[in-house]
Amino acid sequence: MAYVDLADLNGQIPARFLTQALDDDGDGVIDAWEQVQTIVGEDVDSLLEGRFPVPLTMNPIPRIIRMAARAFACELCYRRRGTADSDNPWKSRADALRKTLQMITAGDVQLSVSPAPPDPAPAGSVIVFDSGLGGPGRILG
C-alpha cells in the first residue's frame, strides 16, 4: 500500500511543474511517479521501523503519515527538477515531519490511528398498511 498517490499532489505543485519533475524521457507524460512513490515509502518506513512493522498496513493510514509522505514527495519532485535544498519550498516542512516521525518512533509522540469509518447502514423503507380500513399506507424508515 502506498502512503501517497499522485492525486495527493494536486494543488500542492503546479500541474505543469509536476509533469516536468516526473517526465524522465521528455515526452510530456509523467513516467517516474512509481519511482517517487517507492522512494517516499522507503523514507517513511525507515523513520518508523523498529517501532512498527513496515510497511504499515493499517487502514486508514494515519493522517500524519499521509502528510509526511505528501511533503516528502513534493520535496523530491523539486529535487528531481534541480531545485537546491535551500530553494526548495517543501524542504522545511518535510524536515519537520521527519522529526515528528522520529519522535513517534522514539515513543515521545503517540501515533494516533483513526478507526475506519463504519459501513453505512443499508437503505430501505417499510410500508405499513392499516388493517382492513383500506386507507393509504405509511412509509417508515
Please, what is the Cα angle at 26 between 25 and 31, to 5 degrees?
Answer: 50
Per-residue pLDDT of the chain (141 residues; tens, 9 = 90+): 799 999 999 999 999 999 999 999 999 999 999 999 999 999 999 999 999 999 999 999 999 999 999 999 999 999 999 999 999 999 999 999 999 999 999 999 998 776 555 555 555 555 555 555 555 655 555
Tell me which residue has cell 383500506.
134
Tell me which residue has cell 412509509.
139
Share of the chain above pLDDT 90, in %: 74
pLDDT in tens, 27-52: 999 999 999 999 999 999 999 999 99
User: Please, which residues bridge with residue 52 across strands?
Assistant: 49
136 secondary structure, DSSP code? P
Cα–Cα nearest to 40, from 83, 95, 12, 3: 3
Name residue 110's amino acid.
Q
Rounded distance between C-alpha atoms, residue 108 and residue 100, angstroms: 9
10 secondary structure, DSSP code? B
